[in-house]
Amino acid sequence: MPRVKRIAILTGGGDCPGLNAVIRAVVRTAQNVHGWEVLGIRDGVEGFLKPRDEGLIRLGRDDVAGTLVRGGTILGASNRCDLFAVPRKNGPPKDESHRVGKLFKRKNVAALIAVGGDGTMRMANRLQAQGVPVIGVPKTIDNDVRGTDRTFGFDTAVGVVADAIDRLYTTAESHHRVMLVEVMGRDTGWIALHGGLAGGAEVILMPEIPYDPERIAAKVQARAAHGRRYSIVVVSEGARRPKGAMVYRRGGGEGHLVDRLGGVSYRVAEELREHIDLEVRNIVLGHIQRGGSPSPLDRTLASLMGHHAVELAAAGRFGRMVALKSSGMKSVTLRTAGRGPRKVPPRGALVRAAREMGISFAAADGGDDDYAQSRRTHGAP
């Protein structure tokens, strides 16, 4: 491997609190420790498609000063572009991935640090297979990238959910309402589970445990019978009934007017009204969970991951993704990260603790009831 003098960084996928902290850490570590120059790729992989190097920006200490506390990404992001299948007005999609290698050769770039979720890691792995030296840094508020115990952005999102529930409890109690709080989580329920636990929700619906609306109603009615005529139900956007499909908001199918996940809380509200007399309202938190300043934990985690990514590049350990493990900062193969989302274990410690504290998952298979009965019969393990 030739001596590293210049590296590049891009932020792929959706925005996420902590992205600027990663960029800052990469720039400061690369320059302070190794004397490297850092190039930023604008708007994710779309930056490779821009003409005349318009997708590149030089990043120095002054460029990242004051960005630690800022949400979003100073480089911009894109979650609609696949370099291996770029749409064309006429004809089938075209593979433009060769642009990366050509640009790096022309600009003497020795490594790419790709910051993103599992989709970005899959793309990074394919680029690595083409000979582009890549280091991955996992980010997503969903906390579902395989191979790492946690991703930055997650703690901030959970804080937003918990704060929203805190505010909703007072109005729910005052008006005797059942409030459905819809949170992000396409394939996994990490935000719903942690946010529901932190906020004190009575029911949590998430993709890993198909729900039965009658079981939600039973929990709400049991509370009402004891004088608590209000409840908070956290609903992951990917929640579904057994063999049911996810709920999408319909778009026009062109450009940005595409079908988007979201709105399941409206369906749950309609289902719930068939079984209870209490007023049911739903709130969709949406992109509020992505925005704002990152929490101190996310700032720290993002900074450590950015630093470790540079150290992996310095050691020539390409084709790896930074990972937080119980023993500290490690790395796993990019292939590991791209093998699909890391799901919440339905029988794991967090779900078990929630159930033992009386939180219902409205499990369609009766899992909540079966679990509680087993504990009463056999005692705690």
- Give the catalytic positions in this structure: 142
Instruction: Give the other-Cβ count within 10 Å of 114's Cβ.
Output: 29
Q: What is the dihedral of CA 207, 208, 209, 213, to 10 degrees?
A: 0
Selection from 263, 265, 238, 233 nearest residue 249 by Cα: 263
SS3 for 296? helix
Selection from 246, 252, 213 nearest residue 360 by Cα: 213
> Token digits for 311?
């150290």
Nearby residues of 302 by Cβ (< 8 Å), 6 or more positions away = 18, 19, 21, 22, 25, 139, 152, 294
Strand partners, 116: 138
Q: Are 64 and 23 in contact (CB under 8 A)?
A: yes
Compute CA distances 157 → 13, 17, 254, 348, whole Å: 16, 8, 30, 22
